[in-house]
Amino acid sequence: MATSLDTKRHVQTDMVFRKRTASQHDTIDFTKTSPEQFEVNMKDNQEKRPVLVHDVRGEESSFTLDTNGFQYVRHEVPGLEDWNEEQIRQSLIPATEDLVRKVTGAHKTVTFTHRIRCFATDTNKLAANQAPAHGVHSDFTVEGARHHLENVVKDPVELAALKQGQVLAINVWRPLKTVRKDPLAVCDWLSVNPQEDWHSIRMTFPHGWNELGHVAYRDSHRWYYLSGQRPDEALIFKQFDSAEASSGGATVAHTAFEDPETVDCKPRVSVEIKMFAFVD
């Protein structure tokens, strides 16, 4: 039951999951299928399930990247209240790479994309104007992450050397204003069964392919979020870990969710920065 915004707030909500089917793999060819038809197909295979999302406020240090697949870190970057695309690229991304290297011990990080999620119409503030994603998913499957790594690190000699160590795909998510509406929830990696819960979606485009994961409901899943998350509270979570490739790859499930008490609040404005991190 949710209480006031000033206290710990566990939230009962509905999340959108993938239906369990006999096949756990789909292929979508966007050279032959329209995005609109893809959305129709996806909705036919989705279902809503009730979920209790636990508030980690006051217990942030209880969850770590290595154990749970996610971690909340205090990380202040000046000037985010007046953000624009140039500032994101020139200031926030380098600062976030520094943060990831510190948290993971990585000797090298390579950011491959960032995305601002909001409903703004000012093109100066948008690399990609997208609303919060309501649907439980992971950005990669194991195979998808490995393939994307080859697209990011194109030198075969460098790639081979980097793959000798641990390779992480990391998503760093933070609000650009304190979150009230559509917060982001993550699922504790210890609570999932990746072999049974994940459904891979391979999407083919004219320039290549990628593969992400949709997730089926399991009542043992444990979901968490940080109430009233601020711009100086970064959420770091794994989207791939080569050290865990044989057991699902730590492709942490996540989704925006509706808090019934904040549906009338201002839309969320957030940024996610995705990178590979290389650990010796």
> Looking at the predicted structure, is the pLDDT value of residue 124 above 50?
no
Cβ atoms of 18 and 214 closer than 8 Å: yes
pLDDT in tens, 133-150: 899 999 999 999 999 999
Strand partners, 222: none
**Res. 253: pLDDT tops 80:** yes
Which residue shows structure tokens 């202040």?
76
224: enclosing H helix or E strand: strand 223-225
1 domain residue, yes or no: no
The whole-number average pLDDT for the span 10-37 is: 91
- Relative to beta strand 137-138, strand 208-215 is antiparallel
DSSP code, position 227? T
β 233-241/166-175 pair status: antiparallel
pLDDT score recorded for residue 33:
80
Q: Please report which helix (H) or strand (E) contains residue 273, including its range.
A: strand 270-279
Is 6 contained in some domain? no
- Contact indicator for 48, 16 with CB cutoff of 8 Å: yes
Q: How far apart are CA 68 and CA 54, in angstroms?
A: 14
Structural domain containing residue 131: 23-270
Report pLDDT for 2: 45
In this predicted model, what pLDDT tens digit does every residue of 199-241 receive, in sequence order? 999 999 999 999 999 999 999 999 999 999 999 999 999 999 9
Average pLDDT, the chain: 92
180 within a domain of the structure (yes/no): yes
Domain tally, the chain: 1
Would residue 62 count as lying in a domain?
A: yes
Domain of 214: which CATH number?
Answer: 2.60.120
